């Protein structure tokens, strides 16, 4: 399995989600860069740029890698829509994003007066963009059974934090099963977690980080800066790419 280089520090989190997901598919396919290029029709150097976070892959390349890996491209294409908006600095087309996520085509907009219609249409587009982005995050950071996490107990957000996830508390039940460590919150070994994610999978990683001697702060299921720093220290000790992202290699270090 590849040991990926750290993604560019300035890469937008929405674009980072897409690149990490594509890396994961490439790893699961077992293909080398050259083999991936041959099967998708995009050159090796192109895939090195796409998977290195240096350029946005075309939508057709995303569809091609999904086909090679035997994956339904719907989620990846929805990620691509959001990443494309972040990459180009434009706002996501809400109709395209809704179609990518739900597989349905929105109906034609109703006629409205010139000024009032523009205002209402703009508000509706913004709401659709926010809802689509929230759905993507929920799908990526959901628990093992594929369901979004239940509402958590409310707590005060730290000063300066905008739209921070709601905090809750989890109990670590550390046990050794089949030569691997588990905390009783998730059995995943390949979920992609990064700063901004929340849920039981994050709490599982936090429990295992604490067990490994890298305390992430409270076991609250929120992937914040302290958890990210703990992951980086673990990665450094394990000889992994120090990118602060929990993926298959880092899960291996946590569970091993």
Write the pLDDT tens digit of every residue in 203-254. 999 999 999 999 999 999 999 999 999 999 999 999 999 999 999 999 999 9
Number of independent structural domains in the chain: 2
Backbone angles phi, psi at 198, to 5 degrees: -155, 155
Residues 182 and 75 in one domain: no
pLDDT in tens, 78-134: 888 888 888 877 544 444 444 343 344 444 444 444 445 555 555 555 655 555 555
Q: Alpha-carbon distance 35 to 27, whole Å? A: 12
Residues 45 and 135 in one domain: yes
Residues 120 and 187 in one domain: no
Residues 135 and 186 in one domain: no
Residues 135 and 21 in one domain: yes
Is 236 part of any domain? yes
Is 146 part of any domain? no
State the residue range of the domain holding 190.
175-255
Average pLDDT over residues 148-160: 39
Residues 41 and 131 in one domain: yes
CB burial class (10 A; 0-12, 13-18, 19+) of residue 62? buried
Residue 93, phi-psi category: left (phi > 0), alpha (psi -120 to 50), beta (remainder): beta
Residue 166's alpha-carbon distances to 17, 135, 152, 157, 215, in angstroms, are: 21, 16, 6, 8, 20
Is 155 part of any domain? no
Is 58 part of any domain? yes
């Amino acid at each position: 399995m590849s040991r990926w280089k750290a993604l560019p520090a300035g890469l937008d989190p929405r674009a980072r989600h897409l690149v990490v997901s594509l890396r994961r598919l490439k790893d699961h396919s077992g293909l080398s860069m050259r083999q991936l290029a041959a099967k998708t029709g995009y050159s090796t150097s192109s895939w090195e740029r796409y998977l290195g976070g240096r350029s946005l892959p075309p939508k057709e390349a995303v569809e091609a890698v999904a086909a090679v890996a035997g994956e339904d491209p719907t989620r990846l294409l929805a990620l691509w829509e959001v990443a494309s908006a972040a990459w180009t600095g434009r706002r996501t087309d809400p109709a395209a994003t809704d179609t990518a996520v739900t597989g349905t085509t929105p109906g034609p907009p109703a006629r409205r007066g010139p000024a009032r219609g523009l205002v209402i249409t703009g508000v509706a587009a913004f709401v659709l963009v926010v809802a689509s982005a929230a759905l993507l995050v929920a799908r990526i950071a959901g628990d093992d059974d594929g369901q979004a996490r239940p509402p958590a107990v409310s707590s005060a957000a730290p000063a300066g934090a905008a739209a921070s996830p709601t905090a809750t508390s989890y109990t670590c039940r550390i046990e050794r099963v089949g030569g691997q460590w588990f905390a009783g919150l998730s059995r995943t070994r390949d979920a992609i977690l990064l700063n901004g994610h929340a849920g039981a999978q994050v709490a599982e990683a936090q429990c295992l980080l604490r067990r490994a001697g890298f305390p992430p702060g409270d076991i609250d299921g929120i992937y914040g800066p302290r958890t990210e720093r703990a992951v980086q220290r673990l990665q450094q000790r394990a000889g992994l790419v120090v990118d602060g992202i929990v993926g298959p290699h880092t899960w291996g270090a946590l569970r091993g």
